[in-house]
Structure 1
Amino acid sequence: MAVSMVVLASRPADWTQEQFTTWWRGPHAAAARVLPGLAAYRHGVVTKDYDNPAEPGWDGHAVLTFADQAGLDAAFASPEWAAATRQTKGMGGRRIILITEEVDLLMEGADV
């Protein structure tokens, strides 16, 4: 079963959303893209926060998908992971990181 790391993040206080997105899709994506076993890597920019439309609490999300938990564990243990996470130290934004087991609910006969 596919396993994903889902990250919801807000930018550092002194960055615009555009700066944060440019960094995330640029140098940070380049560092994450080389993680061993990475099967899919998606990023989204928050365009509306339904719970707080006047002041969105989040700026973006990423989903990094691996074939299984062993693949994710191998990525976490890799020097590539260490390099990618070094970029985020001391940035000052907020984040939530979740590990999920995924099922494609659009696939015919998907396990639910």
Structure 2
Amino acid sequence: MVVLASRPNDWTQARFTEWWRGPHADAAKVLPGLVAYRHGVVTKDYDSPEVPGWDGHAVLTFADQAALDVAFASPEWKAATAQTKGMGGRRIILITDEIDLLGGQSNG
């Protein structure tokens, strides 16, 4: 699962990042079946360099769709997403089927 998000209009990027990596991450880290959780801060938006469209992204990894479905149905998911209600930012949540395009390639 990939999440792109922008901060509320009255928040700085630093405040948004602190919240995302702090209280929000604490709520998300306990999702059942979560095997990896990464967060990135947008440092440059090539499509909109003057006013970036997004402030950060997160990648939450689950073993399979069934594990993700369990997480989505959990009280932990409800608690984590409740934190974002009424914040005023934007988000896109994408469910992806990811492969490692570098894995297995030789350097020679």
Q: TM-score range by the shorter chain?
A: over 0.9
Structure 2: 5+ residue stretches without partners = none
**Equivalent-residue separation in structure 1 for 2:98 and 2:19 (angstroms):** 27
User: Can you list the C-alpha shifts for 1:57-79, whole angstroms capped at 9, x where unaligned?
Assistant: 11000000000000000000001
Aligned to 1:14: 10
**Equivalent-residue separation in structure 2 for 1:96 and 1:15 (angstroms):** 19
Task: Report the TM-score, using the length of structure 2 for normalisation.
Answer: 0.95
Alignment partner of 1:106 is 2:67? no
Alignment partner of 1:44 is 2:40? yes
Alignment partner of 1:59 is 2:55? yes
User: Can you list the C-alpha shifts for 1:80-101, whole angstroms capped at 9, x where unaligned?
Assistant: 0010000000000011110001
**Equivalent-residue separation in structure 2 for 1:97 and 1:76 (angstroms):** 12
CA shift, 1:44, in A, is 0.2
Which stretch shows the higher mean deviation, 98-107 or 43-52?
A: 98-107
| Count of residues in Structure 1 that have an aligned counterpart in Structure 2 | 105
After superposition, residues 89-100 of structure 1 pair within 5 angstroms as 89-100=85-96
CA shift, 1:106, in A, is 1.7
When the two chains are superposed, the root-mean-square deviation of aligned CA atoms in Å is 0.8
Q: State the identity as a percent.
A: 82
CA shift, 1:107, in A, is 1.4
SS in 2 for 1:61: strand
Aligned to 1:33: 29
